Amino acid sequence: MERTFLMVKPDGVQRGLIGEIVHRFERKGFTLVAAKLMMVPKEKAEAHYAEHHGRPYYDDLMSFITSGPVFAMVWEGDQVIALSRIMMGKTNTLEAQPGTIRGDYAVHTNRNLIHGSDSPENAVREMAIFFEPHELV
């Protein structure tokens, strides 16, 4: 059984979409194993998005992700890493299909509602940034 790190970003929290997003993963058949509403400290934001350091959108990404509370989660299920990426929709909102979270609710690539780990290695790395082992049920 696989685990992944998902996070409703500040725009999703502000727009009242936590319930809608959680609902989709519950109905899909995945199991929630940890969740918390939190402000992301600067150091955690930098660690989380380390691979984007130096990109033209990096500073905006940092200020956005630390701009308000996020809803951090760990979900469990078969192929949850790849399947949750499909449910989220593409990063570029012009490519995010209707029926996906970004396709249904997001207009801008830099305000795209949800984060999901893109590999097993990043899932382990990101879970450790946001959660202590004892917080996972």
By CB under 6 A, name the binding residues for ligand ATP.
Answer: 52, 57, 61, 91, 109-110, 112, 115-116, 118
Is 57 part of any known ligand binding site? yes
Residue 101 and residue 90: Cα distance in Å, rounded?
9
**115 included as an active-site residue:** yes
CB of 10 to ligand ATP, least distance (A): 11
Nearer Cβ to Mg ion, position 35 or 126? Answer: 126
Burial class (CB in 10 A: 0-12, 13-18, 19+), 50: exposed
Nearer Cβ to ligand ATP, position 78 or 95? Answer: 95
Per the CB < 8 A criterion, the answer to whether 93 and 45 are in contact is: no
Is 122 part of any known ligand binding site? no
* Nearest one of 93, 99, 69, 54 to 8, comparing CA atoms: 69
Per the CB < 8 A criterion, the answer to whether 2 and 80 are in contact is: yes
Binding-site residues from annotation for ATP = 9, 57, 85, 91, 102, 112
Interface residues toward Mg ion, by CB under 5 A:
118
Active site residues: 115
